[in-house]
Chain A
């Protein structure tokens, strides 16, 4: 978060002051990033590469280096998968708890489709 008090008015004794402030949640990364270079086969195997740089800037308090641990994947409507992820430092879970990363990946990637044909 970006949080700052930019000024205070009505500051004389007997007054109810007004605080002017700015507050931007997850400044710099408002939305969890979409995976890139993703592919999923008909058999449910494949890889999804997440833009972890974007996640790092979105979640405060995660010391580097860290890994993203995908904890659960669920399939929704065609082409939409939901990844539940957390962070770990290589051995144990750290920092932010699981967050939901809904994203769209190709349900039938071209290379796999071609092979099946």
Chain B
């Protein structure tokens, strides 16, 4: 569950054992009530979302060929439900930037974290701007696991300027330094919904363009209050527009 609060936004995760799960009258219907420790914050506003994950755990008995027991987990596309925390106000669906069908055009079936997480609209519940992780091998250094940054960087992989310069890009034990996007990297529409990738922001652009000089360029064109002037040169119709440097195929 996550959504906006007065200062930023908040996210809460629970498991079925933490809430109160009640079976409904109809077979297969249930109600899960969050525990008192996971309430909607008092400062919540706007539209919030609840998403769920369920997996089927299957025990595999030993066979003549595989003599030791094992198991497998079957996931499912995660449902996401939007709701307003203000009575009488209609919930507004979250902007869809990437479309799962486009992901699965290459991946066939996205399934992460053991296979139970298969919907990008579910991924962003946790992979939001607050999520970070340690940079492997660099004590005290963290990196963003925000979906935007992380996925851009994973697909850029070997083409990241920092990797080309001899560095590595890894998250935990997974090293993506050798990943090659199997088509022109400028094909934003391979993943993105139409009209969602033409507004330049330092956060999005510097996830792939990660050279120190690019970071300096972005910082120099950002005010002390956080306003960015990227669109002056990179906005739609400008000389160095996103659509010009990443032309649609």
The answer to whether A and B belong to the same complex is: yes
Interface of B is mostly: loop
Q: Interface residue count for A (Cβ, 8 Å)? A: 36
Q: Is B60 an interface residue (CB 8 A)?
A: yes
Q: Is B196 an interface residue (CB 8 A)?
A: no
- Complex Cα distance, B29 from A2, in Å, reads 11
Please tell me if the beta carbons of A61 and B39 are within 8 angstroms of each other in the complex: no
Collect the chain B residues with CB atoms within 8 Å of residue A114's CB.
none
Which among A13, A21, A24 is the interface contact of B42 at CB below 8 angstroms? A13
Please tell me if the beta carbons of A25 and B56 are within 8 angstroms of each other in the complex: yes
Residues from 174 to 208 in B contacting A, C-beta threshold 8 Å: none
Residues from 54 to 94 in A contacting B, C-beta threshold 8 Å: 60-61, 63, 71-72, 84
Q: Is B58 an interface residue (CB 8 A)?
A: yes
Please tell me if the beta carbons of B39 and A1 are within 8 angstroms of each other in the complex: no
Please tell me if the beta carbons of B54 and A16 are within 8 angstroms of each other in the complex: no
- Complex Cα distance, B82 from A7, in Å, reads 9
Which among A16, A18, A60 is the interface contact of B74 at CB below 8 angstroms? A60
Please tell me if the beta carbons of A19 and B50 are within 8 angstroms of each other in the complex: yes
Please tell me if the beta carbons of A16 and B56 are within 8 angstroms of each other in the complex: no
Q: Is A17 an interface residue (CB 8 A)?
A: yes
Collect the chain A residues with CB atoms within 8 Å of residue B66's CB.
98
Collect the chain A residues with CB atoms within 8 Å of residue B52's CB.
3, 5, 19, 21
Please tell me if the beta carbons of A96 and B72 are within 8 angstroms of each other in the complex: yes
Which among B1, B74, B108 is the interface contact of A17 at CB below 8 angstroms? B1
Please tell me if the beta carbons of A19 and B41 are within 8 angstroms of each other in the complex: no
Known interface pairs A20-B29, A71-B64. Does A97 touch B50 (Cβ–Cβ under 8 Å)? no
Q: Is A49 an interface residue (CB 8 A)?
A: no
Please tell me if the beta carbons of A11 and B40 are within 8 angstroms of each other in the complex: yes
- Complex Cα distance, B50 from A24, in Å, reads 19
Q: How far is the CB of B211 from chain A (nearest CB, A)?
A: 40
Please tell me if the beta carbons of A97 and B70 are within 8 angstroms of each other in the complex: yes
Please tell me if the beta carbons of A11 and B83 are within 8 angstroms of each other in the complex: yes
- Complex Cα distance, B74 from A47, in Å, reads 30
Collect the chain B residues with CB atoms within 8 Å of residue A14's CB.
39-42
- Complex Cα distance, B58 from A71, in Å, reads 17
Collect the chain B residues with CB atoms within 8 Å of residue A18's CB.
31-34
Please tell me if the beta carbons of A16 and B39 are within 8 angstroms of each other in the complex: yes
Q: Which residue of A lies closest to B34 (CB)?
A: A16
| Residues of B that sit less than 8 Å from A by CB | 1, 24, 26-36, 38-45, 48, 50-52, 54, 56, 58, 60-61, 63-66, 70, 72, 74, 76-81, 83-87, 108-109
A-B pairs with beta carbons under 8 Å apart, 25 shown:
A1-B54, A3-B79, A4-B79, A5-B79, A5-B81, A7-B81, A13-B44, A13-B45, A13-B85, A15-B39, A17-B83, A20-B31, A21-B30, A22-B26, A23-B30, A24-B28, A25-B56, A61-B74, A71-B64, A96-B58, A96-B74, A97-B70, A98-B63, A98-B66, A99-B58
